[in-house]
Amino acid sequence: MTTSNAAPRIVLGIDIGGTGIKGAPVNVETGELVADRLRIDTPQPATPEAVGKVVKVIVDHFAWQGPVGCTFPAIVHNGVTMSAANVDQSWFHAPAQDILAKATGLPLIVLNDADAAGSAEVMFGAAKGRHGKIIVITLGTGIGSALIVDGKLITNTEFGHLIFPKDTIAEKYCSAKVKEDKDLSWKEFNPRLNAYLEHLQLLFSPDLVIIGGGISKKGEKFIPEMKNLRFELVAATLRNEAGIVGAALEAAKQFKV
């Protein structure tokens, strides 16, 4: 019997959000962070130059030399950010992948932040081994979404930008930032989230919905309070680290690590 002494496959994952930018090296075989993550407040304004500098700080902090996976809170198509909901408007139609690769001097790939979280949950988390229609919702500065059908990710869904309830969009009604900014108690916030989940149910009839983002670590405060749902509702297994892990997975795939 022989045993393998091959070194683990490690890739740096960086998760860019409207409030914070965080990163860590990830063992892409297990989904585990191999060092404490570094978090830096997102610069204001979050221009390409300013964000690029923060990403470079994270790369240098880990003395990283290999490929980098980077999430971004926007529609990302072929490395170009096609929206800019919670960052500076100069990211609209910006070649984000080229900008951040140049800032770091390393091979780098950019993908939507919620798509990254969804990929991580499929590989290592609450969606692992699950079939059917799964929606991952990340509640943070905005609302991100990932749609997974029989294990396949359907990218750039942007369910946080659905018109809801009437004259606004969902992420301005029930994101974690809305809860914080309006100082809503759980008793006040939960009906908002419940109504949004019922709306997703009406539109998509999912089999499973996974709630991610920083709020997911307090799942006991809201999950038991959700009513009239036909689908299973759970907190993300990887919590707020899912974006970092998903970014690393995408870079490992792209650059064949």
Q: In which band, very low, low, confident or very high, does the pLDDT at 4 lie, cut at 50, 70 and 90?
A: low
> Are the C-beta atoms of residues 43 and 88 closer than 8 Å to each other?
no
Q: In which band, very low, low, confident or very high, does the pLDDT at 7 lie, cut at 50, 70 and 90?
A: confident
Instruction: Give the tens place of pLDDT for each residue, 197-238.
Output: 999 999 999 999 999 998 999 999 999 999 999 999 999 999
Q: What is the pLDDT of residue 161?
A: 96
- Joined together, the tokens standing for residue 243 give 């974006």
Instruction: Give the tens place of pLDDT for each residue, 32-60.
Output: 999 999 999 999 999 999 999 999 999 99
> Are the C-beta atoms of residues 233 and 211 closer than 8 Å to each other?
yes
142 to each of 139, 149, 179, how far by Cα in Å?
Answer: 6, 23, 11
In angstroms, the CA 82 to CA 101 distance is: 18
What domains sit in the chain, N to C, each tagged with a CATH number?
10-112+242-254 (3.30.420.40), 126-236 (3.30.420.40)
In angstroms, the CA 235 to CA 228 distance is: 18
- Joined together, the tokens standing for residue 53 give 């500098």
Instruction: Give the tens place of pLDDT for each residue, 66-111.
Output: 999 999 999 999 999 999 888 899 999 999 999 999 999 999 999 9
